[in-house]
């Protein structure tokens, strides 16, 4: 849940398209685990599970911010 909220922070209020894209991007990053996300799972206990979601959400956040910047 934390990762989804991090990605959604980049979506402007009231723009459901950005919200949908942020959610889909988070899910894709969480499923395919590129750019070191898979490495986070090796952390001990439940911290690894949380950290991979947080990193996927952070990558989603950065991607949405960059897309908004390029489109404006």
Distance from C-alpha of 5 to C-alpha of 48, rounded to nearest angstrom: 18
Whether residue 17 is contained in a domain is answered as: yes
Q: How many domains is the chain partitioned into structurally?
A: 1
Whether residue 59 is contained in a domain is answered as: yes
Q: Give the pLDDT of the chain (72 residues) as one tens digit per residue.
A: 899 999 999 999 999 999 999 999 999 999 999 989 999 989 998 899 899 999 999 999 999 999 999 998
pLDDT value of residue 44: 92
Q: Which domain holds residue 59?
A: 7-40+50-71
Of 31, 62, 5, give the one whose Cα is nearest residue 41. Answer: 31
Whether residue 29 is contained in a domain is answered as: yes
pLDDT value of residue 72: 87
Whether residue 45 is contained in a domain is answered as: no
pLDDT value of residue 45: 85
Distance from C-alpha of 6 to C-alpha of 62, rounded to nearest angstrom: 10
Whether residue 2 is contained in a domain is answered as: no
**Cβ 67 vs Cβ 36: under 8 Å:** no
Q: pLDDT tens digit string along 25-36?
A: 999 999 999 989
Whether residue 1 is contained in a domain is answered as: no
């Amino acid at each position: 849940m934390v990762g989804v909220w991090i990605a959604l922070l980049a979506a402007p209020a009231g723009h459901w398209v950005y919200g949908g894209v942020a959610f889909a991007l988070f899910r894709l990053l969480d499923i395919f685990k590129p750019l070191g996300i898979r490495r986070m799972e090796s952390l001990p206990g439940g911290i690894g599970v949380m950290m991979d979601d947080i990193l996927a959400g952070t990558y989603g956040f950065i991607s949405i911010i960059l897309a908004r910047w390029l489109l404006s």
